[in-house]
Structure 1
Amino acid sequence: MTSAQRRLIVPIVCLVLGVAMLGTTAFLTLRQRGDLSAPLPAAIGGPFALIDQDGKALTDRDLLGKPFLVFFGYTHCPDVCPTTMFELTEAFKALGPDKKITGLFVTVDPERDTAPVLKDYVSNFDPRIQAATGPRESIDRVMKTYRVYARRVPGEGEDYTMDHSAIVYIMDKQGRFVSALNTQLKPEDMAKELARYL
């Protein structure tokens, strides 16, 4: 090894050791403050501006102050959506009518799910569940913030269905995502899970 090569190795080794020391210092500092044990908030949810089933403006700020559930679906859905809405209704009933919690059904099919259509649809479920629609671009934005997948599947003639995510998001009083609700549980067990955030 030449003397020139030796002169190059020394600063490289110093640099590597310096980076390692900085990393160790940062790790120890975070551990002392407890930041490593605290999970980072998931990047799910966020601001939105939609229209509720009564044709009124509805934003994420209107839901703050109490926990709320968010579920994406559409009124022409033959199975998953009505089943999930029924399960949420049963869980809300198990919680009791005085519990401050709301649900939001956001359509992935705004072309058919107008405010009057949604009003008729949610009238079949717990009154604490409201619905939201809006222009396609607004729906696409809120779907993106909740990481929701949806696409149109052609049917016969002009008919179609929507292939979409079927997650029920639990949001806390500050509008932060905390968990996905397991709708396979019994209503009483779902109610116990939701009660944790009241």
Structure 2
Amino acid sequence: MVKIALLDDEFLFVEGVSVLLASCPNVKVTLAETDGLRFLSRMSEMLVDDIPDIVLLDIEMKPMDGFEVIERLRSMYSEIKIIILSSHYRQNVLGHMMKLGTSAFIPKNTTKAQLLEVIDAVHKNGLYFTTRDYEMLRSYLNTSNRRPMLSPKDKLSSREQDVLKLICQECTSQEIADKLYISVRTVESHRQHIMDKVGAKNTVGIVLYAIMSDIHPLPPMA
């Protein structure tokens, strides 16, 4: 069961998505709100068993916008995965989204099937990228001067690079373990070491690092 929280300042949109997800047997909406401040307040009062695995939220909201909500969520619950569901699907938003460590960015006119596909991928792998996302990311990186650097003592080992490449291919920990003939626990240990070395907070951060360091090249343009 994937626990979902919804936040959007349009009541009808929140209600509509809640009804849509209620028909899915493996998804449970544990919180739905239209105000960022109330959302964070209610999150802080939730029982541990009700804390969502994934938060779906919009960007442009008042009085607190989605980016500020994400920053506060990150400080409160580092393990929660975040999906931005917005009509403002632009390159500069995607770049800022990745800096904040959100897991996916999908337009509001997405279909039910696509939304469930994204939720499933984010829940399993921590990341969901479309071809269009990659195209915008390529453009974003071409205009960015920031290049990640590691000191020699922090350099990723050959095995860590193998794990990182498979993470970038959106493989689950079990799939990585099967491909590399190691245990899931070892995969998770490598993942944590990679995050510690590159200073990433989650899967999105280490994928961005891999792309900027040419460990994982972006797919070629169609």
Compare CA radii of gyration and give the structure with the larger one: 1
**Structure with the bigger percentage of strand:** 1
| Larger RCO: 1 or 2 (CA < 8 Å, sep 6+) | 1
Q: TM-score range by the shorter chain?
A: under 0.3
TM-score by length of 1: 0.27
Return the structure number with greater helix share: 2
TM-score using structure 2 length: 0.24
